[in-house]
Structures are given as C-alpha cells and as structure tokens.
Chain A
C-alpha cells in the first residue's frame, strides 16, 4: 500500500492547520516536559534521601546483637555488641568494605539554663573515616578528638535554637545501662551543618569512649557501621559478617520505612503521571476529532477513490503518531533543560523536612535526577497514550459512509 503517501498526507495535513498543530504539539510537549520534571524531581529527592540516610545514619551494613531493638536504643549489656573493635576490624578486612566503625547510640536531653531539647547521641570513633561527612560538615569550632573527655559536637540548628555557641557549656541527661539517670556537663567544641534540618536539630556527637563511660556500657557498642565500596555488595558482606547471636542488616533493611514510603509516594506519582497523560490524550483526541470533522469530504473522496476504511483509519493514526513524536521530542528537549536546571539549582522546599522524623532525611532543596531510562519510558508511554487517544477519531473517520461524507460541505 501507499504507506509513504499516507505519511506525506498526514505530515502535510499537520502543516496545513499550523495553529492547531502548534497548540496540540505544545500540549504534548508540555505534558512530556512536566512528566520529566516531576519524575526527575521525585526520583532525585528519594535517591538523595536514601543517600543522606546511608551517609549520616545507617551506613550500608550494620552488625548488631540480635536482641537489639533500635526503637528503644537499648543500653542493656545483653543487647550490645561485646567486642565491637574486633568485629569492626574483621569487617574492615573484607575487600568490599571501605570503612567500618563501632557506634554507641543513646537517647538524651540537652539542657541550657533556660531551654532543653531531646536528641539522639552518637558515641563515635572520631578517627574513623565513616564520620568524614560530619567532619566535613563542621562549620564552626573544631571536630572532636578521641581523648576529649568533655567535648561535644552539636548541630548548628540545635545550637541556634538553644541559643548556645562554640565554647559554651551544655548539660546532657541520659538513662544509663543500669537504668539510672545520669547527667554530665560538656563543652561545645564545634557546630556542624549537614543541610538536613531534622538531622542538624536532633543529633549530637561524643567520642565513643566518653559515651561508653557516661552510659556505663563498658567497651560495648550498639552496632558496627560498615561503609561499602558499592551498595550492591551489601548482601555478600552481610553473609560474611554473620555470626551467632548477631543480626546483620543491609541498607535496605535499615531504610525499610524510607523505601516503603518511597514506593507509596511513587504510586501516587504514577497517578499524577496518568493525569498528565490523560490531559494530553483529551487534547489530542479533541484536535484529531476536529481534523476529522474538517476533512469529512476529503475522507469521502479518498473512499470514492477506493481507499478502504482500515487505510483511512491508519492515515489518521499516522498523523497522530507524527504529532505525538514531534511533541515528545520537543518536550524531551524542554524537559531536559528543566531537569538540568533543577538538578543544579534545585527547588527550595524550606524546612518541611523536619517533620516525619529521621526516617526521611531531606535537605531544604530538592534536586532533580536525569533518568534516561525512565524518561524514555515516559516518552514511549506518552506516545502510546497519544495513539490510544487517536483511536476514536480515526475509527470515527473510517466509519463514515462515502455517500454521507461526499455530501458534507
């Protein structure tokens, strides 16, 4: 059949009604660009949240005592690792492991003369590169040293809230391993700003030796935190570190809430994607239906010339495919610019990220990610939707009786 001629007729028909073609082209292009920006942003935000969480909170793999309950940040001896240093050294020896270090977590309340705040206390191996990100984020004063017996590092945000600064004293209250309240005074050595409002407001750091002494845990630790060269080696390393009485968790387990939330969030996004595509579909269907109405007599002529109804249907579908592809290409260009802008400059979202607890760490800006595979999929889906939307107008055109069509003026 005269395929090439059908394409030509389709293309020229699109050129004939330039304004209408331009409008529907813009609709498809905007739809496509919007889909790219929306999906690029949400993927970026989720990916960032996961990376922040791994970097500042969970690491890639954690080894804990199997009775340890994270929600309680238990300090009972039976719930803590006996020889965390040895375990960390064992992990460090694995080729997949970049760094490993023990950590002791405590719940605490910091007090100044007229204010107080609940915090999570990290007793850390201050010399370990696991905490390089915090060292890098230290913007005032200095990072901790291992032998510091009363130094403390707090978030700038928390410091501002409490009205304290480097060199000032604060009092930290905890409940120790044996369940007794303990209080100790620390001097603020430095302030850190990770840019994650929740984290900067709720985390404080001590050298692990001081934390252990303060909490009466001996040289026990809550966990050994392991950073890997590649996140996808987590399962292998987990298997290697497994031992009796231990529980080894990967970043997937440790970020289960985040990942589940992300899944729910993404399904919400699929609905949003569908709505955008539906709008595109309605515009395309409308445009093509108008084109069909305008060309009723032409359809009659083609039918008189012996074109079968299926060929007439194909002719209109080809026109829709041309329009769709042009729109998607234009949209991909606009969308790429949008995504590139949002990937570099980001989108300010303010401090909303302090809500929702530490499960979902977000900065004050969202940054988009360029996702070639996802965007290609969205383009294909949009083209599919455009063709679907063209089915009815094309079917309508092919159903016209030649006699009726020829009579139309």
Chain B
C-alpha cells in the first residue's frame, strides 16, 4: 500500500475574475521509504501539490488517500489530526516557533500527540543528536544559524514518526554547504527511519539526492522516473559518516 495515492487530483485558484489551474489531473503514488524530488519551473504547482499531499488544503476534484484512507473531503479538524499523526512539514523559511527553544520546538508535536514525558525526552534527545544539535538544544531559534534552524525543523518533522515528510524548497534559503548538510541529514534519516520524503526544489544539486524525480509543468506531471544519485553531485561527497550527529536512531 502506498503512503499516499493521488488520483486525478485537480486544484484551481480563483482570484476575482482570474482562474488559475495550479494542478490538473495528477495521478501518482508515493511508496513507503521513498526519497522523491518534485521539480518544475516557478508556478508549475509544486507547492500546491505538497499542500494537497499534506492535507493543508483540499483538491477541487480527484481523490487523495493516505495509507489507504480516503482523506479527500475531511473537515479541518480531521485534517489537523491527520497532519499531527502522519505528516511532517519542512518549509523554505525556517518555520520554528520563535519563543520556544530547539528542544521545545521538537517536543511540541509530541505534546500535541500526547506522547508521555519519558518517551518525549528520549525522542527529542535522539533527534537533536541525529541532526547534530544536541549541544544547542536550549537555544532559541534566533540564536541558531539558518542551517541549524532547518535541522531543528527536520527533527521536529520526524518527531511524531510520520509516514511522510513534505519539504518545500528546504534549502532555498541556505548557502551551498548548509544546503548540502540539510540534504544529507534528510537522506540519512530517510534511510534510517523508512519515512518517505517528498521535497520540492529548483536546485539540480538538491535533485541529485533523489531516487525518484517527478517533473511538473503547468500543473501536470511531465516526467516521473527513478535515478541513481550522480557521482559528481553534492550527494556523492563523502560527508555523511562524519557529519555531525551521525548516530543511528534507536526508535527506527
């Protein structure tokens, strides 16, 4: 069973007189453990697709299933419940709660999911360790660099053990080195946890990390295929094993 299945999904935005078809007739499956890039020019519908997959919004037509359950017409609260339990989000801006420390940000989804205190402490510690921020757990977001903030966001997205993590241009606001580090951490956590990752990007170096690439144009899938990460790309650099906090996760 795929983690998420889209069948004939269409989304149209109407602003005043203007109607813009952001997505039309999208049909695709995301399988367990995938590491998939969605690419396409600006306005091709990447963000819209991730929002629909993440149950942040509802399609105009078509069907969306998550782990076999039809979620197409769920009400706002039911979609919130689904996001809380099944889906992790990473955004282009470093979407941390500014008044909470790194630790508290990672813990927040666990609190929302009523995870008990011991389990929370274990998972937050492990995840902060995994993204190499164990020593900065008590810092507030404004005391962290962009790359560090994005790593906290990755830890937070994974904390509730979702079946799917959606990342919308996660490296767009990072420099080359930090971007690579973020992608490597995502890749490693994908392998260790088996959580499916879907990320939207413009950046060919980010695309090179993916094992599957879905190309969008004008709201349609124009290409969808597997690839082997290129040897000359970012992803091939032997960095992974020395990267900060490259521990294995006990709860995987």
Contact = CB atoms under 8 A, between A and B. Distances in A.
Given A9-B100, A12-B99, A304-B83, A309 B108 contact: no
B85 A306 contact: yes
Contacts of A311: 112
A1 B91 CA distance: 25
Nearest to A310: B77
B54 A304 contact: yes
A77 to B, nearest CB: 86
B188 interface: no
Contacts of A5: 104, 107-108, 111
B109 interface: yes
Contacts of A1: 111-112, 114
Interface string B68-91: 000000001100111111000101
Interface string A293-315: 00001100111111111110000
Nearest to B100: A9
Contacts of B111: 1-2, 5
B60 to A, nearest CB: 14
B97 A298 contact: yes
B99 A305 contact: no
A406 B83 CA distance: 15
Contacts of A308: 77, 80-81
Contact of B112 (A8, A16, A305): A305
> Main SS of the interface on chain A?
helix
A257 interface: no
B43 interface: no
A305 B95 CA distance: 11
A306 B81 contact: yes
A102 B109 CA distance: 82
Given A1-B112, A2-B111, A5-B108, A306 B80 contact: yes
B54 to A, nearest CB: 7
A402 interface: yes
Contact of B99 (A2, A16, A309): A16
Q: Which of A2, A8, A13, A305 has the most CB of B within 10 A?
A: A305
Given A402-B56, A403-B57, A306 B100 contact: no
A305 B114 contact: no
B51 interface: yes
B8 interface: no
Given A2-B108, A9-B97, A406-B91, A303 B80 contact: yes
Given A5-B104, A307-B112, A302 B97 contact: yes
Q: Which of B54, B56, B83, B96 has the most CB of A within 10 A?
A: B56
Contacts of A298: 97-98
Interface string B97-134: 11110001001110111100000000000000000000
Given A304-B54, A308-B81, A12 B112 contact: no
Given A5-B104, A5-B111, A402-B56, A306 B84 contact: yes
B57 A306 contact: no
A305 B109 contact: yes
Nearest to A3: B111
A132 to B, nearest CB: 66
B194 to A, nearest CB: 21
Nearest to A10: B99
A401 B58 CA distance: 11
Contacts of A401: 57
Nearest to B99: A12
Nearest to B168: A406
Contacts of A8: 100, 104
A12 B85 CA distance: 26
A309 B80 contact: yes
Contacts of B96: 301
A401 B107 CA distance: 24
A307 B80 CA distance: 6
Contacts of B108: 2, 5, 305
A326 to B, nearest CB: 17
Contacts of B114: 1
A13 B99 contact: yes
Contacts of B76: 309
B83 A305 contact: yes
B51 A403 contact: yes
A8 B51 CA distance: 29
Contact of A305 (B51, B84, B93): B84
Contacts of B112: 1-2, 305-307, 311
Interface string A115-142: 0000000000000000000000000000
A8 B111 CA distance: 13
Nearest to A295: B98
Contacts of B156: 305
B99 A9 contact: yes
15 contacts: A9-B97, A9-B99, A16-B98, A298-B97, A304-B56, A305-B83, A305-B108, A305-B109, A305-B156, A306-B113, A307-B84, A307-B112, A402-B57, A403-B56, A403-B57
Interface of A: 1-2, 5, 8-9, 12-13, 15-16, 297-298, 301-311, 401-403, 406
Given A13-B99, A310-B77, 18 more contacts: A1-B111, A1-B114, A8-B104, A12-B99, A15-B99, A298-B97, A301-B91, A303-B56, A304-B95, A305-B109, A306-B81, A306-B85, A306-B109, A307-B80, A308-B81, A309-B76, A402-B57, A403-B57
Interface of B: 51, 54, 56-57, 76-77, 80-85, 89, 91, 93, 95-100, 104, 107-109, 111-114, 156, 160
